[in-house]
Structure 1
Amino acid sequence: MSRNGHDGVPGAVFIGDFALSGGEWFPSHRHSVHQLVWSRRGVGSVRIGDATWFLPRTLALWVPAGVVHATGAVDPSWNRSPYFRPERCPAGIREWAEPTVVAVSPLLAALIDHLADEHLTTDERIRAEAVVFDQLRPLSTVAIPLPMPRDRRAARIAAALVEDPADDHTLAQWASEVGASARTLRRVFLAETGLSFGRWRTHVRLRAAMPVLAAGQPVAAAARRAGYGTPSAFVAAFHRTVGVPPGVYFARG
């Protein structure tokens, strides 16, 4: 990994370049500076707590300083992430205290590439940084959390569904397999994950579909991966959960 423009270079922004192979993850860590996680090539991902974001080239995730996160890649990726010194950020940006999805326009992508040049003069760097801050526009998106139940019976079901999101066993069928009533399992899922079993299964299915969509594959392929009988049923579930259809989400920027 290299961080261009970090040591001895004035300004608010320095650029980190690093490559990840498909399925590779950096362990959980935190920074003393803000990070905009962006994949210049490939599809990146960020995990914070129970939530995971999948990021094609048109989307990036603002990770505030001090937030523990893990960065990974769906496919072989080249990450070119800007890091922001908090004390040099404009007041409005300093107030971003939560992970925030940002649209990466062609202009913002070009500016990030520009700031990776170690030979910029101080004036050139500061002018470019001012435009970068103007381009940081948060998007209204909803992460898809997937908290795992602790009860051994519910945990067995959860593990099986993560392994095969398309499994269409009913809760009653699962109940007979794990030795608990369907009513008990409904109560356990709600108490330990904050989600009904139906919503939890929707989340696991959409999480499985996200990398497929982020890699640019058709909605029909994502629907099959997630276990939906038709693409329209998948699109409806995605829209209800995330707030926009998948085509809109992945076309932003």
Structure 2
Amino acid sequence: MSRDGHALLVLSVTMPKGEWFDWHLHPENQFAWAADGMLTVQVGDATYVLPPSRALWIPAGTVHRTGAASTSSMHSVYFGGRQWGEPTVVAVGPLLAELIRYLADLTLPTAPRRRAEAVLRDLLVPVPVSTIHVPTVSSRLAPIAEALTDDPADDRDLAAWGRLVGASARTLARSFVAETGMTFGTWRTQVRLLASLPLLAAGMPVATVARRVGYATPSAFVAAFRRVTGTTPGTYFT
């Protein structure tokens, strides 16, 4: 393994929509980027949605899984050395994108490869974004999680969900706090905001996204999004 921070390898693969690489880790740092389409990377309870303007630095040894939110051309750059000790979102501009494609040529001679790698490393600029965390739940609460994942706009209250899973509203409320550290309402907000990210990244209007994920008005959606991420839906991917 290189110890000087040079890229070790660039691998490219086309991922059909809905395909996932199951939970795994790498002994090297990974820089995951989709030249086309959209990637989703999960690290613990955090989910990163990555259109072509964004990539994710995944430190060596970090357990994660990667999926395609749409048919995607995924490029993975594997590095030695150390850049950041935690997953970090990076902006991908035209020059960085072209350098990754250039380094994907496995026939590239050593000298130009090293020069390109040095420039690429200089172009890794972190983007200050707050990730959206959706803690997993037990099998008892799983039917609720599955239903809301399928339809984030489902507005049933805990009493209605209780009839589905055979528990009282009070029991479900305690279970959500015990398992996720969140009230049901806060947890559902996280689910809805996470569901909004691929839609926003694909360029869907904010008003349409708000309706799709269960908000009566765009302003209510924008307020919830800003409260959780610190920015607005319109600027999250810019």
User: Can you list the C-alpha shifts for 1:160-218, whole angstroms capped at 9, x where unaligned?
Assistant: 22222111112243345544443332221111011111110001111211111122222
Equivalent residues of 2:30, 2:76 under 8 A apart: yes
Matched residue of 1:127: which SS?
helix
1:55 match: 50
Distance 2:13 2:7 in 1: 20
* 2:124 is aligned with 1:136: yes
Higher strand share: 2
Matched residue of 1:247: which SS?
coil
Equivalent position to 1:127, from 85, 94, 115: 115
Number of aligned residues = 235
2:206 match: 219
Equivalent residues of 1:149, 1:192 under 8 A apart: yes
Matched residue of 2:144: which SS?
helix
Distance 1:233 1:117 in 2: 47
Equivalent residues of 1:151, 1:188 under 8 A apart: no
**Structure 2 letter corresponding to 1:159:** E
Equivalent position to 1:101, from 65, 68, 89: 89
Equivalent residues of 1:13, 1:129 under 8 A apart: no
TM-score normalized with structure 1 length: 0.85
Equivalent residues of 2:89, 2:129 under 8 A apart: yes
Matched residue of 2:70: which SS?
coil
User: Bigger CA drift: 173-182 or 17-26?
Assistant: 173-182
TM-score normalized with structure 2 length: 0.90
**Structure 2 letter corresponding to 1:171:** L
User: Can you list the C-alpha shifts for 1:15-44, whole angstroms capped at 9, x where unaligned?
Assistant: 110001111112222111111110001111
1:22 match: 17
1:3 match: none
Higher helix share: 1
What is the CA distance between 1:74 and its match in structure 2?
A: 1.0
Matched residue of 1:158: which SS?
helix
**Structure 1 letter corresponding to 2:129:** T
Distance 1:95 1:59 in 2: 17
Structure 1 unaligned segments of length 5 or more: list them.
1-5
Matched residue of 1:57: which SS?
coil
* 2:187 is aligned with 1:200: yes
Equivalent position to 2:219, from 216, 232, 251: 232
User: Can you list the C-alpha shifts for 1:122-173, whole angstroms capped at 9, x where unaligned?
Assistant: 2212221111111112222222121232262x33333322222111112243
Distance 1:149 1:118 in 2: 44
Q: CA RMSD in A?
A: 2.1
Equivalent residues of 1:43, 1:56 under 8 A apart: yes
User: Can you list the C-alpha shifts for 1:94-118, whole angstroms capped at 9, x where unaligned?
Assistant: 1522111111122211211221233
Equivalent residues of 2:7, 2:77 under 8 A apart: no
Structure 2 unaligned segments of length 5 or more: list them.
none
Equivalent residues of 1:149, 1:188 under 8 A apart: no
